[in-house]
Structure 1
């Protein structure tokens, strides 16, 4: 253990936690000494084998006992079960990655610790790409996350809930690319050409969106839609079919779930049949 470095514990070592730790250790950088829970043995040992700043605790209580800052990277469904037996210390800082737990809901589970932050990193932070959010903007936590992508510091917990809802569109994004790829494949193009082609198009558009975000995406939509051209027609047809409205309605539903006002079983009215059942 290095003198002067924060001791950071990770309770729950899944996909997001692996990406987060990988990003913080990228390029041999040593931002902290990390102590991982042993539950996901394969991931924990893979990380420990790559980075000298990482150790594996005997159990979750060992992670808490050996850490100044504790990241909670567990699923909401098991959060209460995992956290209730653990004994925290008053001076510890807690960073929750638990999607649907606000600070008030976490307080009794980590007491007597009272310094609680919420962060939303995404898988690309492993390569220091994409975006991640932090509420509140605690300097010590921000220093750990800085440079892992575009770090957005938030002053209101409501803002992190809204940003969290938007992250639910990752699967939809790749689903869109899959639909485009399937259409091309049905025209006789092989997957070895189709997928790199589609990936390259959308990768370039993503780079444009990031570089010119200040211009406004509505302006970019106009610039990429020549009057009377193919792009203008495609965008017109998708909007007329209600595509943009469905995105907003879906985000409203996900946002309600993040805030505990909806569940996994809730769905949009348009996705129910006359009997009120979910469409297959």
Structure 2
């Protein structure tokens, strides 16, 4: 690897300081550095917009929490550029490397002592009166939910062009395996191993005791139709990209491409679950 990209959580002094220190260290190793344009004013190296930087780098380093990594990952779908997350956030399922280990981990990665895992994303298109009004990509989850009104919404879900259910609820989470430990888990969904190609379907406070989370094959195309809402509802991608929905809107969700994340050779998924979720048997 000769060219490294860096992005840091905005308005976070620790992240900005770490980005400056990492840039200097990488340059001392004789490597070329690009930064996301959000860092252009504080680091004197070439800067690129986040949605363009993937074509210029061989490794992307994310300094922040899972939110910063999700923002980055959506711009790296099918780029085949590995992303290394350095955790400055809270839980950090995706950004697993602590800041205190940053330079040691970078040495291992630059020496080729790492492995990669691919996580698929979801492509989302919203249609109104037969016209596509918005499109986007989610790495963790797609969430249909009531917006700022207190009443439930009603919607239908289809898979393989067949009706799955019609439901009144506060909303619905469609999660990738990477997102199964996020909002979907809080809503009662299962933890899905990242090597399983599946989409979790998790209702949020459904108005029926018989409706339960289900798991669908990742290659199934899913359609949601907003049937009733006392006010405009909301669609959120990774909790970061927001759209307003009207009654009658259709949301089409399908598997998108892959996002490549870096892990150290000793990394194991169940170690992460034990440590992050506080399960018994921590080592």
- TM-score, normalised via structure 2 length: 0.33
Q: As a proportion of its length, which structure holds more helix?
A: 1
Question: Which structure would you say has the larger RCO, counting Cα contacts within 8 Å and 6 or more residues apart?
Answer: 2
Q: As a proportion of its length, which structure holds more strand?
A: 2
**Which protein is bigger by CA-based radius of gyration?**
1
